[in-house]
Amino acid sequence: MSVINEVKIESLIRDLIAKLGEDPSREGLQNTPKRVESSFKFLTRGYKQDIQQVLNNAIFEENYDEMVVVKDIDLFSLCEHHLLPFYGKAHVAYLPQGRIVGLSKIPRIVDVFARRLQVQERLTQQIADCLMQALQPSGVAVVIEAYHLCMAMRGVEKKDAYCTTSSMIGSFRSDERSRSEFLNLIGRK
């Protein structure tokens, strides 16, 4: 992703405000371009994060091969089609094969990929692929349930509709019992 000059971002936001029919020099809007820039930098900080630094050597050899589940991970992202937020919960599981990860790293991985311009389908897959590559477990499962403001505030205007996506890799795809256990543990069966 190319880095845009900060002054240009402020200028673009100021121009956008004017094109919307507002006066960007009005008291309530004077600092809005700076605030929007700051907000977008925060909401897209995942582009500048390195997964290896996030994992921070928190992968450990451990003789454990039962399911590890972290559920109800809050996530916030921006729809790449409308630049409106979507938010919800991620549920993540893996079946270790001699390697485990520090539990706090799983929500951090979710955040790295969520803090980018996204579609929920890709976000779900990126989280699963990242854990599969980092841990080489026998399987990874990710389910995301999210509300999309692009559906609630505009378009079909359905505020209570949410989207569920899943990615099942390895044994979660091939073994119905593992998949069912995961779905049961997250309360989705």
Question: pTM for this structure?
Answer: 0.93
Q: What is the CATH number of domain 57-185?
A: 3.30.1130.10
- Interacting residues of 22 by C-beta distance below 8 A, sequence separation 6+: 29
Rounded to whole angstroms, the maximal C-alpha distance in the chain is 63
How far CA 64 is from CA of 24, 101, 168, in Å, comes to 59, 12, 20
Amino acid at 179: R
From first to last of the 189 residues of the chain, give the pLDDT tens digit.
445 555 688 899 999 999 999 999 999 999 999 999 999 999 999 999 999 999 999 999 999 999 999 999 999 999 999 999 999 999 999 999 999 999 999 999 999 999 999 999 999 999 999 999 999 999 999 999 999 999 999 999 998 999 999 999 999 999 999 999 999 999 986
Told to judge if 91 belongs to the known catalytic residues of this protein, a careful annotator would answer no
Residue ranges per structural domain of the chain: 6-43, 57-185
CB 59 within 8 A of CB 101: yes
- Least Cα distance to 54 among 101, 96, 88 occurs for 101
66 is catalytic: no
Catalytic option among 91, 126, 130, 148? 148
